[in-house]
């Protein structure tokens, strides 16, 4: 491509269809709405009941919204989700693996039950969703897979050993899938949010001591807002990122530099 051919419509997602797991709450909702603002139609599978808010935001952008009640850790659920996207919307062009859990407990109180549940949602389901999406993307020689990693893809993390382990694993999985799928014009990348003001961080933010400790570590001086991630996901889902592959994009306000 000649540089004279580049146009801002390279960021357009018109005609694209996306699946966003966990897309009706928190960061997932921001990702789903961002893709809709770019022009994509969106299917949101979630174990959480649909309250209509995500659909209203997506449809306000002129995009189509589909909801599917699904537990992504259930047998055959990823296959059914991807098949439903193809059936209802016509294709699966973008997959955002956002669904995640983060149970907190000290080492001696964190057992196999919590570990297995965290791995099932954060890592195994992301693999299975990506595997099913790839079955449709490879023959079409086109697709975008975006894994929601974390600053804990690079750090330890007190009280969150399983979360940190799965996010390290998800970053590694991103690179491994990139290495195999790039030949089919499928880009596999990750987004690594830092500390964001969502329901999952409410307890930390409500404690003045822990809240200040986090803020002291962020050069930007504030918690991230879901909207801070919207540009990143549109970029990674669009033609503008066709030569970006196997990368984990930090959106952390500078947290890791301090």
Q: Annotated catalytic sites, by residue?
A: 163
The candidate with the shortest Cα–Cα distance to 100, out of 17, 37, 177, 193, is 193
What radius of gyration do the chain's Cα atoms show? 18
Residue by residue, DSSP assigns 146-202 as EEE--GGGTS--TT-HHHHHHHHHHHHHHHHHHHHHGGGTEEEEEEEE-SB-SGGGH
Q: Checking DSSP bridges between strand 65-69 and strand 94-97, what pairing results, if any?
A: unpaired
Distance CA 167, CA 171 (A): 6
* Ranges assigned E (strand) in 210-258: 248-251
In whole angstroms, give the CA distance from residue 126 to residue 147.
Answer: 8
Nearest to 99 by CA among 79, 82, 118, 75: 118
- Residue 38 CB-density burial (10 A; 0-12 exposed, 13-18 middle, 19+ buried): buried
């Amino acid at each position: 491509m000649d540089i004279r051919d580049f146009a801002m419509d390279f960021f357009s997602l018109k005609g694209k269809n996306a699946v966003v797991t966990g897309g009706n709450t928190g960061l997932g909702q921001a990702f789903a709405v961002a893709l809709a603002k770019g022009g994509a139609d969106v299917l949101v599978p979630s174990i959480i009941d649909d309250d209509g808010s995500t659909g209203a935001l997506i449809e306000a952008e002129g995009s189509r919204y589909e909801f599917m009640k699904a537990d992504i850790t259930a047998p055959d659920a990823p296959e059914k989700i991807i098949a439903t996207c193809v059936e209802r919307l016509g294709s699966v062009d973008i997959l955002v693996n956002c669904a995640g859990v983060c149970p907190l407990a000290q080492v001696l109180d964190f057992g196999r039950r919590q570990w297995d549940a965290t791995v099932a949602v954060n890592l195994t389901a992301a693999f299975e969703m990506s595997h099913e999406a790839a079955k449709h993307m490879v023959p079409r020689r086109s697709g975008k897979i975006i894994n929601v990693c974390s600053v804990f893809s690079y750090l330890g993390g007190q009280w969150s050993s399983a979360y940190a382990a799965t996010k390290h694993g998800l970053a590694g999985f991103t690179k491994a899938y990139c290495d195999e799928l790039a030949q089919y014009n499928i880009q596999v990348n990750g987004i690594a949010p830092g500390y964001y003001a969502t329901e999952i961080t409410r307890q930390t933010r409500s404690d003045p001591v822990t809240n200040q400790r986090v803020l002291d570590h962020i050069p930007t001086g504030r918690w991230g807002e879901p909207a801070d991630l919207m540009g990143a996901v549109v970029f990674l889902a669009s033609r503008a990122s066709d030569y970006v592959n196997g990368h984990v994009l930090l959106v952390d306000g500078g947290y890791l530099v301090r």
